[in-house]
């Protein structure tokens, strides 16, 4: 299994500002994913981040709002830009050791974001 840490664990931000969330894994992984869990809701995939290539965004999510970096096989960042109260959510990093469909995805503890 993979051990995943996220920073910050929680933050309270003002409308119009940006926050960068870091995800660190204790081993090299092929696939990294970012999910959003809005209050009382399920998880929604934001994007898939592969090292050395542009992130792939799901419908409804755009790079200008959620820029992602993946500089190496153990680290990724997600930025939530120009925040509004609707961005208040838990943001979760997830990793998959390989690109196989049977692979378990492991989840980080999440970053709880509140936008005022």
Partner 1 sequence: AQSVTQLGSHVSVSEGALVLLRCNYSSSVPPYLFWYVQYPNQGLQLLLKYTSAATLVKGINGFEAEFKKSETSFHLTKPSAHMSDAAEYFCAVREGGGADGLTFGKGTHLIIQP
Can you give the binding site for partner 1, defined by CB under 8 A? 30-31, 33, 35, 41-45, 48, 58, 92, 94, 96, 99-102, 104-110
CB of 75 or CB of 107, closer to partner 1 = 107
Q: How far is the CB of 87 from partner 1 (least distance, A)?
A: 19
Nearer to partner 1, 28 or 44 (CB): 44
Residue 101 structure tokens: 């469909």
Q: How far is the CB of 109 from partner 1 (least distance, A)?
A: 4
Whole-number minimum distance, CB 102 to partner 1, in Å? 4
User: How would you classify residue 29: left for phi > 0, otherwise alpha for psi between -120 and 50, otherwise beta?
Assistant: beta
* Rg of the chain over all Cα atoms, to the nearest angstrom: 13
Q: How many residues does the chain have?
A: 116
Secondary structure of residue 62 in the 3-state scheme: coil
Q: Which residues pair with 25 in a beta bridge?
A: 4
Of the pair 15, 63, the CB lying nearest partner 1 is at 63
């Amino acid at each position: 299994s993979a051990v995943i840490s996220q920073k910050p664990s929680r933050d309270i931000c003002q409308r119009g500002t940006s926050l960068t969330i870091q995800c660190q894994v204790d081993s090299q992984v092929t696939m990294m994913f970012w999910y959003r869990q809005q209050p009382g809701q399920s998880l929604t995939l934001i994007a898939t981040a592969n090292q050395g290539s542009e992130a792939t965004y799901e419908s409804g999510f755009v790079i200008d709002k959620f820029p992602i970096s993946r500089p190496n096989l153990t680290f990724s960042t997600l930025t939530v830009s120009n925040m509004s109260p609707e961005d208040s959510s838990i943001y979760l990093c997830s990793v998959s050791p390989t690109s196989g469909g049977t692979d378990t995805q492991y989840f980080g503890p999440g970053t709880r974001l509140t936008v005022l």
